[in-house]
Amino acid sequence: MKKLVQDFEVLHKEELNDGTFVIDVKASAPLPDIKPGQFVNVLVENAANTFLRRPLSIHFVDYEKNIIKLYIKKIGEGTTKLGELLLGDKLNIVFPLGNQYSIPKNSKTLLIGGGCGVAPLLYLAKHLKDAGNEVTTILGVRSAYDAVELDPYKQYGRIFVTTEDGSIGEKGYPTQHSVLNEKFDYTFTCGPEPMMKAVATYSKSKNIPCEVSLENTMACGFGACLCCVTDTKRGNICTCTEGPVFNINELKW
């Protein structure tokens, strides 16, 4: 998979609650094959204090329209400036980066996301369904107000929500959802580390494979700087090339 650096055009932007937004960016050339779990590294222009690119998961890919969707939470200057992009603005992107979630066949798969960790799960859900899997997704948010759009997930399987205040869905964390009582063959997760660790514990207790997507501080995103290491059983390895998706067996969790 050849990595590219390209200018994309901002085609659509949708503000969600809680400072998150979804942005559609259009490539000028046909998109290469992009795998679920991969990410892009975007250049934030016009930002006095954002020197390095910002890594963002690929939320969805529309090959027909040549569009990549990004799901972004504003947390600092870089993501805030991205939120200020106007339709028609250009965005320089290095992509596709990283490895991918594995895609089993004809299995019962469980996807658990929290915060902006929901980003890669939509595209993953599509690939899982395409490979004949049954897809169950649980997204954890703080309250109804923060709820993300659930419709897109519905076409690939079942979707559940947990809220910390119980305002919609089940009250609690996604790892406490009652659907976890069912039997699954695989779990896939992305979100805050404590949540992912809870998913890992759950999966270990059920003895099913679990893949997590790690976030850490990256300077390049394509294996050149060695800044993004994760301490694995094989030693320090790069999250940007050998991750961001790891089977929990590889990690020292």
Ligand X SMILES: Cc1cc2nc3c(=O)[nH]c(=O)nc-3n(C[C@H](O)[C@H](O)[C@H](O)COP(=O)(O)O)c2cc1C
Closest CA to 185 of 126, 104, 130, 107: 107
List, in sequence order, every residue forming a beta bridge with 244; answer none if it has no partner.
Answer: none
Residue 226 binds to ligand FES (criterion: CB under 6 A): yes
Residue identified by tokens 């979100």 is 191
Tell me if 87 contacts ligand X by CB under 6 A: no
Question: Given the complex with other proteins, which of 40 and 220 has the nearer CB atom?
Answer: 220
E strands in 87-228: 90-97, 108-114, 134-141, 157-163, 170-171, 186-190, 210-213
- Consecutive H or E run containing 198: helix 193-206
Smallest distance from ligand FAD to CB 23, Å: 10
Binding residues: 54-57, 78-79, 220, 225, 228, 240
57 or 162: CB nearest ligand FAD: 57
> Which residue stretch of 5-13, 56-64, 143-151, 217-225 sits at the interface with ligand FES (rule: CB under 6 A)?
217-225
CB neighbours of 28 closer than 8 A, spacing ≥ 6? Answer: 6, 7, 8, 9
Interacting partner of 43 out of ligand FES, other proteins, ligand FAD, none (Cβ under 5 to 8 A depending on kind) = other proteins
Site string for its own copies, 151-170 (x = CB under 8 A): --------------------
Sign for the pseudo-dihedral over CA of 111, 113, 117, 122: positive
CB of 137 to other proteins, least distance (A): 30
Q: Does 236 bind ligand X (CB under 6 A)?
A: no
Q: By the 8 A CB rule, do 223 and 238 touch?
A: yes
Q: How far is the CB of 240 from ligand X (least distance, A)?
A: 13
By CB under 8 A, residue 88 contacts its own copies: no
- Among 225, 236, 247, 249, which residue interacts with ligand X (rule: CB under 6 A)? 225
Per-residue binding string, ligand FAD, 46-85, x by CB under 6 A, is ----x---xxxx-------------xxx-xxxxx------
Dihedral, CA of residue 146, residue 159, residue 250 and residue 3, to nearest 10: -80
195 close to 141: Cβ distance less than 8 angstroms: no
Of 27 and 245, the one with the shorter C-beta distance to ligand FAD is: 245
Among 10, 214, 227, 251, binds ligand FES (CB under 6 A): 227
Token pair of 124 as six digits:
């993953």
Q: Say how far apart CA 226 and CA 35 lie, in whole Å.
A: 23
Contacting residues toward ligand X, per CB under 6 A: 225, 227
Give the footprint of ligand FAD on this chain (CB under 6 A): 39, 50, 54-57, 71-73, 75-79, 116, 119, 215-218, 244
